[in-house]
Amino acid sequence: MDYISNLRKHIGTQPIIMCGACVIIVNEKSEILLHHRTDRDWWGLPGGAMELKESLEDTARREVFEEINLTCGDLQLLNIYSGPELYYKYPDGNEVYNVTAAYICHEFSGEIKVEKSEGRAARFYKINELPSNVSNPIKPILNDYIKRSNYTTP
């Protein structure tokens, strides 16, 4: 049983601080990979909660592999995100305040295969063509990435 599930057995759905990691995977066209979640009709970044004894980088690599079957090469830390804008209430009522390490990855291998229990699809998007239904806790991360990448609308 994973750490969060075990914790939930004791505290129910009340808000917790959840530490995790996500990855902005960038292809050779400078497009970013988004993952379409199964629990809501939202697009997000591959990532998830840290398990006991893991580093944040280990979490990022494991989650990417579990969710979309890609193996990350070098990970570059974008930033650590926290605060009210990273609050999330899952459809089952579980509430979390995320503390998320966001990484950028330009080197990856494998073939995209979405784990059907966690996602509907995964695909690369141009920065100026992101879907409108991006997960709220992911928006500050993507906005920061776009700002830092000095992207300007054509």
H helix or E strand, kind and range, residue 4: helix 3-11
Provide the CATH number for the domain formed by 3-148 in this structure: 3.90.79.10
Domain extent listing, the chain: 3-148
Residues whose CB is less than 8 angstroms from the CB of residue 144 and which lie 6 or more positions away in sequence, other chains included: 78, 79, 81, 102
Q: Which residues of the chain have pLDDT under 50?
A: 153-154
Are the C-beta atoms of residues 60 and 152 closer than 8 Å to each other? no
Say which amino acid occupies 54: E
Are the C-beta atoms of residues 53 and 62 closer than 8 Å to each other? no
The backbone torsions φ and ψ at residue 79, rounded to the nearest 5 degrees and listed phi first, read -175, 170
Token pair belonging to 142: 């993507």
How many other C-beta atoms can be found within 10 angstroms of the C-beta atom of residue 103? 25
pLDDT of residue 63: 97
What does pTM read for this prediction?
0.92
Each residue of 109-127: pLDDT tens digit?
999 999 999 899 999 999 9
Token pair belonging to 64: 């990417």
Are the C-beta atoms of residues 42 and 55 closer than 8 Å to each other? no
Residues whose CB is less than 8 angstroms from the CB of residue 34 and which lie 6 or more positions away in sequence, other chains included: 43, 44, 45, 122, 123, 124, 125, 130, 131, 134
Q: Are strands 16-25 and 95-105 parallel, antiparallel or unpaired?
A: parallel
Residues whose CB is less than 8 angstroms from the CB of residue 22 and which lie 6 or more positions away in sequence, other chains included: 44, 45, 46, 47, 48, 60, 63, 100, 101, 102, 103, 138, 141
